[in-house]
Amino acid sequence: MNIDRRTLLKVGGVGITLLVPGAAVGNSLHSVSDAATRHEIDRSIKAGFGGSFSVRTHMHGPDGLTYADIEHAGTRYLVSSANLFDWNIVAADRAI
């Protein structure tokens, strides 16, 4: 994996924003409020990860990627995609 410090800080900041409820202000998680876009993201994640995953929140990052906070069996994942087809897990957190 070839990640430099700057990239890690950018992605880490987005991850913290998505995983901490109420932390996002201004250009927030609700910036992508279009129902069609939410439906497309939900469908894409369920196709990529499986139908038992639920989308908690999503947003378009400043780097052009789409980020989503998803959950499955008590574990939350921060995932990213450039094209809504290929999703990468950025972080995972066991929810209590």
| 84 assigned to some structural domain | yes
Does 75 fall in a domain?
Answer: yes
pLDDT tens digit sequence for 18-49: 555 444 444 444 444 556 688 899 999 999 88
Which residues fall within 8 angstroms of residue 40, CB to CB, at 6 or more apart? 84
Q: What are 47-96's pLDDT values in tens digits?
A: 988 888 889 999 988 888 999 999 988 899 999 999 988 999 999 988 64
The answer to the question of residue 70 being in a domain is yes
The DSSP-derived string for 7-20 is HHHHHHHHHHHHHS
The number of distinct structural domains making up the chain is 1
**Domain interval for residue 57:** 5-19+40-94
Phi/psi for 58 (5° steps) reads -155, 160
Residue 68 placed within a domain: yes
